[in-house]
Amino acid sequence: MLLALPLLAMLTTAPAIAAIIPKPASVVAVEGTFTLAPHARIAAGKGAEEVAEFLRSALRPPTGFGLNLGGRAGKDTISLALDRKLSRLGEEGYLLEVHPDRVEIRAFRAAGAFYGVQTLLQLLPPEVFRSAKVEGQVWQAKCVKIEDKPRFGWRGVLLDPARHFLPKEGILRFIDTIAQHKLNVLQLHLTDDTGWRVEIKKYPKLTQVGAYIPEYLADYDPPKPKNGPRGGFYTQNDLREIVAYAADRHVTVVPEIEMPGHAGAVVAAYPEVGLPDSNVINGEDSSIRFMQDVLDEVMAIFPSKFIHIGGDEVDKSFWKKSARVQELIKQRGLKNEDEYQSWIIKQMDAYLASKGRRLLGWDEILEGGLAPGATVMSWRGIEGGIAAAKAGHDVVMSPTSNLYLDYYQAEPAEEPLAIGGYLPLEAVYGYEPVPSALNAKEAERVLGLQGNIWGEFTPNMKHIEYLAWPRLAAVSEIGWSSGAKDFTEFSGRLAADFARLDAMGVKYRPRTGSPIQALGEWTSVEASTEWVVREWDASEEMAKAGPYTVRFAYTHGAHRFHVRWAELVQDGKVVARDEHAGSAAWDVSANTYALASPGGGQLKVRAEVRYEGSDSNGILYAIRR
Ligand code: ACM
C-alpha cells in the first residue's frame, strides 16, 4: 500500500498525452509515437483545403519544413477529411487519430477539422508555437485516438478598444491565442463615451472627432508619443483584415456599437444625435436613422449574424429632464423612459432583422420590454439570462461574478491596478453556464458564454494578455468540455498551456500565490439593511490548520456589503476572530479578515454584516497563507 499510493498518484497525474486545453470529450492512448518527417505531406479532402493551408503555415516557421499539400492519406501524411456521415460531430467536432506513421483528422465541417488541427498542435512539443525554426527539435506526438466536440457554440471573449485603442496587430495576435484554445467569438466594443473606433464613411466626424476626445485621452490612452496623436480608430479595411484573419481561424468577430447610452463619442461628433451635455442618443427619428446608417456600414464590414448594440447602463435621467424626449414618449404612446429605451432597441431589432441579422444586447434591454428578435448577454449576474431564456430568447452568459476578466485575479495589493472586483481562476473555472433555474427546454436557449476584458485599465495588449491568461483557458474549457470539472486536474494541464504561451511570447499570469477556496456567497435575495449575523460552512475549505485570509469579494449589484467582524467557529466554539470595519464593493476596500484555523471538525465562518441596499452580491474566499 505504501508503495502503491504514490505510484497510482503518478499515473493519474502524469501529463503525458492529455495536457490538452480545452479537455477533449474522449482521449484513448495508443502504443507508439508519430514523428513528423520533413518530407511529410498534408492531404486535404474536399472542403478541408483551407484548414490544410493553415496547418502548413503553422508548421512551417518552427519546423522549417515546407510540407507539400495534396495526395491521399497514407504513410507520412497528415490527412484532413470532411465526411457527411460524421454529422454526430456537429459543426465543430472532430476525430483525430495519431498513428505511428500518419495522422488522420476527420470532421463533419471545416471548423471541426480546424479544431482537430489545433489539438494536433497541442500534442506536438510546445515549441511548435514559435515563429522561427527551432534547431534540434524532434517533432513527435504520442499516438492517440480522440473524439471531441464542444458543449456550446458561443465561446466568446470581449476586447474593448474604445477605452484604450488597441493596434490592429495586437488584435490579430490575440486571435491566434484564442483560436488555439478553441474560442470562436471575438466581440469588439468599438464605441463608447471614450472613443469611436470604426470608420463610418457617411459620418466622417465619428472618427475625426470621436476617435480623439480630449477629456478622455488623458485618462484612457497610453502616454502621448512626442508630437503624435493619441486615440485612434480602425479603417474599414483594417476591420475587414481583422474579420478575414479571424475567419481563417474560425473566429467570428461580433461588432458592438453602443446605443442609446455610452454614446458620448457620437454626441461629441454629431451633437444633433444626442442630448446636450449627455452621453445618450436623443431618440429622434433622424437619430434612429443615423444609427441605422452606421449599422449599414458595420454590417458591410462584419458578416457576423449577431450585431451587438450595447444597451447597458443608459443614464435615463437625461431623458427624464428633456422636455422634447418627454414629448416623444407621449407621441409614441410609451409609458416611461424604460419603454423609450425599449422602443429605440426595437427599431434596431427590426432594422437588423430586415437585413437578415440578429440583435444582441446587454441585459438592460429587458427593461421596458424585450425586442422580439433580441438575444440577451447576461452580465449583471445571471438573472437577465434566466428571464430572457424563460421568455424564449437566446442568451449568452457573461456574468461579472465569474466572467469579468478585467477584475483582479489575485490579491489586489499585489496586482496591477484593475477596475475592482475579484475573480481568481478558480471562480472562472467553477462557473456553470446553464442556470439551474432553467428547465431542459429553456436551457437550450443558452448559446454559450463570454469572458469580458474591459479596457479602462488596460493600456496595451501585454496588459490584456496578463488578465486573459490563464483565465481564458478556463473560459475555453467551460465552454467546450462537457465532462465533470476538476480544478486540480485542470491546474495540472495548465503547465503545458503555459509552455505553449511561453513559446508564443504571451504574457500570462503565472500560478503563484496560495490556494484559494470559495466558501459561499452573499446575494441580493437575503439582503438586510440591518446588521445581521451570517454563517458559511468552511469545514472542507479551512480543514488544514494554518493562517487564512477570508475575503468578501463583491461580484455585482448596486450596493455595498459591510462587515463588522468575522469569526471562525469550530464545533460551535469561536476559535479565531478579526474585528474591523470592512466593506466589499467594486472598488475593493478593506474586506479581508485574518482567521487562523486549528484544522478539523465542523468549521464555520461567521460574520456580522449589513447590505447598504437591496442589491449586492459576492463570493467569500478562504486563502491559505
Ligand atoms: C457592462 O459591463 N456594462 C456590459
Q: What is the pLDDT of residues 479-507, one digit of tens each?
A: 999 988 999 899 999 999 999 999 999 99
pLDDT classification of 625: cutoffs 50, 70, 90: confident
Read off the pTM: 0.91
Cα–Cα distance for residue pair 603/568, rounded to 1 Å: 7
Cα–Cα distance for residue pair 112/262, rounded to 1 Å: 38
Give the three-class secondary structure for 348: helix
Give the three-class secondary structure for 569: strand
pLDDT value at position 220? 66
* Ligand 1 atom nearest to 262, measured from its CA: 3
> Any idea which of 12-26, 218-232, 322-336, 337-351 has the lowest mean pLDDT?
218-232
To test the ligand 1 pocket, which listed residue (157, 257, 312) has its Cβ within 8 A of the most ligand atoms? 312
* Ligand 1 atom nearest to 400, measured from its CA: 2
The residue behind cell 447597458 is 312
* Ligand 1 atom nearest to 379, measured from its CA: 4
User: Rounded to the nearest whole angstrom, what is the distance from the C-alpha of residue 563 to the centroid of ligand 1?
Assistant: 27
pLDDT value at position 6? 38
Mean pLDDT of 45-59: 98
- The residue whose CA has the least distance to atom 3 of ligand 1 is 312
Nearest in space to 400 (alpha carbons), one of 408, 412, 411:
408
To test the ligand 1 pocket, which listed residue (157, 189, 257, 362) has its Cβ within 8 A of the most ligand atoms? 362
Instruction: Please give the distance of CA 49 from its chain centroid, rounded to a whole number.
Output: 30
Mean pLDDT of 25-54: 97
Is the pLDDT score of 526 beyond 60? Answer: yes
Is the pLDDT score of 176 beyond 90? Answer: yes
Nearest in space to 175 (alpha carbons), one of 465, 400, 540, 372:
465
Q: Among positive and negative, which fits the CA dihedral 622, 558, 437, 88?
A: negative
pLDDT value at position 58? 98
pLDDT value at position 371? 96
To test the ligand 1 pocket, which listed residue (454, 456, 556, 586) has its Cβ within 8 A of the most ligand atoms? 454
pLDDT value at position 518? 85
Neighbours of 532 (CB within 10 A): 12
Mean pLDDT of 438-453: 98
For residues 548 and 540, the answer to whether their CB atoms sit within 8 Å is no
pLDDT classification of 4: cutoffs 50, 70, 90: very low
* Ligand 1 atom nearest to 313, measured from its CA: 3
User: Rounded to the nearest whole angstrom, what is the distance from the C-alpha of residue 3 to the centroid of ligand 1?
Assistant: 54
For residues 307 and 257, the answer to whether their CB atoms sit within 8 Å is yes
Is the pLDDT score of 140 beyond 60? Answer: yes
User: Rounded to the nearest whole angstrom, what is the distance from the C-alpha of residue 497 to the centroid of ligand 1?
Assistant: 29
Residue among 189, 250, 262, 562 flagged as catalytic: 262
296 in catalytic set: no
pLDDT classification of 218: cutoffs 50, 70, 90: low
192 in catalytic set: yes
The grid coordinates of residue 357 equal 441579422
pLDDT value at position 414? 84
Cis amide bond preceding 260, omega within 30: yes
Cα–Cα distance for residue pair 495/576, rounded to 1 Å: 36
pLDDT value at position 586? 73
**Is residue 342 classed exposed, middle or buried when 0-12, 13-18 and 19+ CB atoms within 10 A define those classes?**
buried
pLDDT classification of 215: cutoffs 50, 70, 90: confident
User: Rounded to the nearest whole angstrom, what is the distance from the C-alpha of residue 12 to the centroid of ligand 1?
Assistant: 41
Residue among 192, 199, 256, 497 flagged as catalytic: 192
* Ligand 1 atom nearest to 404, measured from its CA: 2
Residue 525 host element (H or E): none
Reported as a single tens digit per residue, the pLDDT across 90-116 is 999 999 999 999 999 999 999 999 999
- The residue whose CA has the least distance to atom 1 of ligand 1 is 312
Give the three-class secondary structure for 320: helix
CA dihedral 526, 527, 532, 534 (to 10 degrees): 40
pLDDT classification of 11: cutoffs 50, 70, 90: very low
The grid coordinates of residue 436 equal 439551474
For residues 308 and 360, the answer to whether their CB atoms sit within 8 Å is yes
Per the prediction, the chain carries an average pLDDT of 93
Helix residue ranges per DSSP H, 105-165: 110-123
- The residue whose CA has the least distance to atom 2 of ligand 1 is 379
> What is the DSSP pairing of strand 103-107 with strand 94-98?
antiparallel
Residue among 313, 432, 486, 571 flagged as catalytic: 313
215 in catalytic set: no
For residues 276 and 268, the answer to whether their CB atoms sit within 8 Å is no
Is the pLDDT score of 446 beyond 90? Answer: yes
Mean pLDDT of 127-142: 97
User: Rounded to the nearest whole angstrom, what is the distance from the C-alpha of residue 472 to the centroid of ligand 1?
Assistant: 18
Cα–Cα distance for residue pair 480/501, rounded to 1 Å: 19
Percent of the chain clearing pLDDT 70 (strictly above): 94
Residues 6+ away with beta carbon under 8 Å from 260:
280, 281, 283, 311, 314, 341, 344
Report which of residues 102 and 221 the model is more confident about.
102
User: Rounded to the nearest whole angstrom, what is the distance from the C-alpha of residue 377 to the centroid of ligand 1?
Assistant: 10
Q: What is the CA radius of gyration of the chain?
A: 26
Is the pLDDT score of 13 beyond 50? Answer: no
For residues 467 and 142, the answer to whether their CB atoms sit within 8 Å is no
Residues 6+ away with beta carbon under 8 Å from 568:
538, 542, 548, 574, 575, 576, 577, 595, 596, 597, 603, 604, 605, 606
User: Rounded to the nearest whole angstrom, what is the distance from the C-alpha of residue 4 to the centroid of ligand 1?
Assistant: 52
Ligand 1, CB within 6 Å, residue ranges: 312-313, 362, 379
The grid coordinates of residue 576 equal 479565531
